Amino acid sequence: MTAYHLNRRTLLRLAALGAGATFLPVTIVEKACLAQAAPESLDGLLEPVRAAHRMPALAGAFVQGSDVAAIGATGVRRSGTDDRVQVHDRFHIGSCTKSMTATLIALLVEQGMLSWGATVADVFPDMLGKIHPGYHRVTVVHLLSLRSGLPDDRSPDPAIWPQVRALTGPLPQQRRALIEIVLSRAPVAEPGSRMIYSNFGYAIAGAFAEQVTGQRWEDLMRQKLFSPLGMNTVGFGAPGFTQPWGHTPAGCHPVAPGPDADNPQAIGPAGTVHCSMSDWARYAALHLRGARGEPGLLVGTESFRRLHRDEFGQGYALGWGVVQRGWADGTALTHAGSNTLWYAVIWLAPARNAAFLAATNCGSEGGFRACDAAVGAMITKYLS
């Protein structure tokens, strides 16, 4: 099985998604708002989209404020079978994990365990002899805004990727080893000077969190983000044998869950989360409300401003693409994700108090088209 990689088309899709159309933390005590008695079913809207793009399955959700207003899933968990997907099945969301890692970092900053300006030299002083000096002053913000000077890694580097895939042992140790592997060579650009898409940058940001807390990134995410939001279906890697399977981009053939069905665990902070659409909607509501300036959420108002602000005017904040859309009445926040076996996309329209999610279990070009069309159909239905 080939080594799959994260979201090779993300930046192109951020610009293109919806381009053909003119329209197109929740606090602990408030999280029950998302458990509406009967959200509208999206199955009827999603099924013709799924069939038109020949996807095994397609799922979607529409969030209004703190509520899941509509949700649905259609198709099969695995092509060639009649095992129908269910509305609470789990989908892999790929690089949409990135904003989640950035949110964890914001929580650690608020708790005084880390700072936005913390550098590689600050956090890993014992490793500096193994890290190229050009990376010593790389900060948390550099890593999360894709301005670390690391090379574009959307196509696996044959000099690095096999080493990363071969890593074993406890995950914090794997991520320290990843730092040594990835940061041993000179930056391809002066850190902070320009945006270059790097999944490894997010893996290293996750290692920052592990270093200052002494806990695994996975455990931190559950403890500080997912559990407070009531996201109980979240996991890492392929969802499992009784859940939807990922499918190859060539021919949409099913791939059984296992090590070859996702990226190496070491780069989890860049994109290995899976969850149900309803749980992902809880997360979308957190950022939607935060972008609207609502107080009293899991993350503070200033942290949301930092996470969502396109500080460098590059169309990318901290884990979020920042674009202008007419249907959003201005700024929209977005991200796409794919490990080449799945495709997922999230859109937030703060001025419209609305969010849209779509995911499919095939990472082909058709997967992108299907998610794009599903979001467009939801925008037409709910915002026109």
Average pLDDT estimate for 357-362:
98
pLDDT per position as a tens digit, 144-169: 999 999 999 988 889 999 999 999 99
pLDDT per position as a tens digit, 273-298: 999 999 999 999 999 999 999 999 99
pLDDT of 306 over the 60 cut: yes
DSSP state of 225: I
Cα gap 364→79, rounded to integer Å: 14
The structure tokens listed for 234 are: 């979240």
pTM beyond 0.85: the answer is yes
92 phi, psi to nearest 5 deg: -75, 130
Strand partners, 332: 323
- The residues, ordered by sequence, that sit 6+ positions from 20 with a Cβ below 8 Å of its Cβ are 376
pLDDT at 35: 44
Smallest Cα–Cα separation from 96: which of 13, 172, 167, 18?
Answer: 13
The structure tokens listed for 191 are: 């850190």
pLDDT at 97: 98
Between 23 and 38, the more confident residue is 38
Work out the widest C-alpha separation in the chain, in whole angstroms. Answer: 59
pLDDT of 7 over the 80 cut: no
Residues in the chain: 384
Q: Which domains does the chain have, with CATH numbers?
A: 10-92+230-383 (3.40.710.10), 103-217 (3.40.710.10)
pLDDT of 18 over the 60 cut: no
Cα gap 19→375, rounded to integer Å: 12
DSSP per-residue string spanning 8-56: TTHHHHHHHTTTT-S-----TTTGGGG--S-PEE-HHHHHHHHHHHT-S
Smallest Cα–Cα separation from 345: which of 327, 318, 363, 325?
Answer: 363
pLDDT per position as a tens digit, 91-133: 999 999 999 999 999 999 999 999 999 999 999 999 999 999 9
pLDDT at 38: 87
- Give the chain's mean pLDDT: 92
- The residues, ordered by sequence, that sit 6+ positions from 150 with a Cβ below 8 Å of its Cβ are 182, 187, 188, 196, 198, 200, 201
